[in-house]
Chain A
Amino acid sequence: MAKTFGPITAVDGLDLEVPEGICLGLLGPNGAGKSTTMRLLTGQAIADSGRLRVLDYELPAEAKTARWQMGVVPQLDNLDVDVTVEDNLAIFARLYRVPDVGAAVEKALAIARLRERRRDAVDELSGGMRRRLLLARGLVHEPRLVLLDEPTVGLDPQIRTELWTLIGELKARGTTILMSTHYIEEAERLADEVAVMHQGRIISRGRPAELIAEHAGRQTAEVYGPPDRLAEARAEAESRGLLVRPAGPAIAIVGSERADGFVPDDAVVRAASLEDVFVLLTGEEAD
């Protein structure tokens, strides 16, 4: 599948299949094409080429019917802020043609843990409550597939953890989830499988442990020190054919178990991580 916007190629030969019942993390840096992919999946963007099937429906022709059975949790908060919590949910229950709107709202309030605040206007809620409500709104019709577009972007750590708990509960119910994120930790915690997306295409895919073993080996040695020391360590590691990546104030020598005794004495050795994979594959610093 491909999608361009004028001179910009947002999605470039994307090939992705999501099996039922898993949480697939679409991990990529900003600008990788994740949000465009999400919009293609809801029919809010039309691919220039390729074929797209969601829940057995061909898109874009059957996008509306496909959307009926999927829930979308957007990156941006687009709740109706002057309207009450329960009205926000009821509106979407109606849009999704839920037969018993009242029961659906009750269930969604329970998911969002907002029963006590049901009659409050959204602009009276805290940031965390609003994100929980946004998530519950996307689940009000008990969808077969849920698209989470950067579900915790810009949130503080406590709210992020709250959201992760809710998403974990959703996973436990067996709902299929496609989650775009540029947070490594989010993908590691929630995704059964991770597809690393870069410049509009999937460049690697697998279970996090498989990706780490394939691309980063078993351990990573981080060397800290002044620039001269880092340059020296980098040159030596590269001369031995090892992969080196920047890691904030340090450099990380990836797959250092293959270093054949080279690992510098001042290095901190740790288990290889998905962050190593992400940086090696995309060349971008991780968030």
Chain B
Amino acid sequence: MESATTVQQQPKAAPRRLRRLERAAIAGVMSREVANFRTYWKGTTFSSVMEPLVYLLAFGLGLSATLVDEVNGVPYLEFVGTGMVATAVIFSSALPAMFGTFVKHRFQNTYDAILAAPVDVEELVSAEMLWIATRSGTYGCVPLLVTIGFGLDPAPGMLLTPLFCFVTALGFSGFGVAMAATVAKIDQFNYVTALFVTPLFLVAGTFFPIDGLPEWAQVAAQVNPLHQLVELVRGGAFGYEWVDLLRFAFLVAFALATWRVAIHQMRERLID
């Protein structure tokens, strides 16, 4: 006889079956993030504004006063300021996704609580990514606003910057969640940062143009989502090109790919 474990109740009137990717589940998980964010938003906002200010003062004003006047016809301060959007995006998406996910899962048991409710791993990961990308998409625009404060002329194309930041941040939050689900110990994030985050950040074309790099590095930069974001942000400030459509499509594909990988890795980690 097949063994059965059952909790029996009298059936009620045909209850609705929950579907995949229910908006209520995603909104519920995001509401948890918003409630927590209300307790720490001041510190996050302060650092998001201060960091680009300090970088612009150090690199933009410092270097442009001594070594570099302009790059490809763009004043160096504006070149760095627009590039720093990508820096803000990766640091406000990949890192919070890595550390936040790890802490919530391993130390706070938050995901055990959420997955005991009618939420599945796909909805949980999607909500986490959407929240981080929303936040990062917003904070990612701060360096651009600071650069405008330093003299960059506003342009209509810049209105698309939050969208570019959001999509890129989706990709990096998926990357971060996947890494958090993969590493065994929190110290192992050092490898992730050294092997992925720092190289991506340095060869994005933020501080120097990549066409000065060796050919292999230029090819590698083309598959760096941060480089594509840098180019799109500069397109918004200094004029788009048709190739920017391809760049945007690449970022969308990056986000979709990391979304699925993050779900797979988290399912492996969370479901016994």
> Which A residues contact B (CB, under 8 angstroms)?
1-3, 5, 13-20, 36-37, 39-46, 50-56, 62-65, 67-69, 72, 74, 76, 78-80, 82-84, 87, 90-92, 94-97, 121, 144-145, 176, 178
Contacts and interface: CB of A to CB of B under 8 A. Distances in A.
A37 to B, nearest CB: 8
Interface core residue of A17, A65, A91, A97 (most chain B CB under 10 Å): A91
Contacts of B9: 20, 55-56, 144-145, 176
Given A20-B8, A83-B36, A94-B24, A44 B272 contact: yes
B7 A55 contact: yes
Q: Which 4 A-B pairs have the closest CB atoms?
A: A45-B272, A72-B116, A78-B109, A95-B28
B43 interface: no
Contact of A95 (B39, B112, B118, B270): B118
Nearest to B110: A78
Interface of B: 2-11, 15-18, 24-25, 27-29, 31-32, 35-36, 39-40, 108-110, 112-120, 270-272
Contacts of B118: 64-65, 67-68, 95-97
Contacts of A37: 5
Nearest to A121: B39
B31 A74 contact: no
A1 B119 contact: no
A5 to B, nearest CB: 7
Contacts of A52: 4-6
B120 A94 contact: no
Contacts, number: 147
A282 to B, nearest CB: 20
A80 B29 CA distance: 12
A3 B17 CA distance: 27
Interface core residue of A64, A69, A94 (most chain B CB under 10 Å): A64
Contacts of B28: 91-92, 94-95, 97
Interface core residue of B40, B118, B120 (most chain A CB under 10 Å): B118
A74 B112 contact: yes
Contacts of B109: 74, 76, 78
Nearest to A16: B5
A14 B31 contact: no
A44 B7 contact: no
Contacts of A50: 2-5
A53 B7 CA distance: 6
A82 B271 CA distance: 27
A95 B115 contact: no
Given A42-B115, A91-B32, A68 B18 contact: yes
Contacts of B116: 42, 44, 67, 72, 74
Contact of A51 (B2, B17, B110, B115): B2
Nearest to A147: B116
B6 A18 contact: yes
B60 to A, nearest CB: 36
B6 A16 contact: yes
Contacts of B117: 67, 72, 92, 95-96
A14 B3 contact: yes
A176 B5 contact: no
B11 A5 contact: no
24 contacts: A2-B3, A3-B272, A14-B3, A17-B4, A17-B5, A42-B115, A43-B115, A44-B115, A44-B116, A51-B2, A55-B7, A64-B18, A68-B18, A68-B118, A74-B113, A78-B110, A87-B35, A94-B28, A95-B118, A96-B118, A97-B24, A97-B118, A121-B39, A144-B9
A82 B36 contact: yes
Nearest to B117: A95
A44 B6 contact: no
Contacts of B32: 80, 83, 91
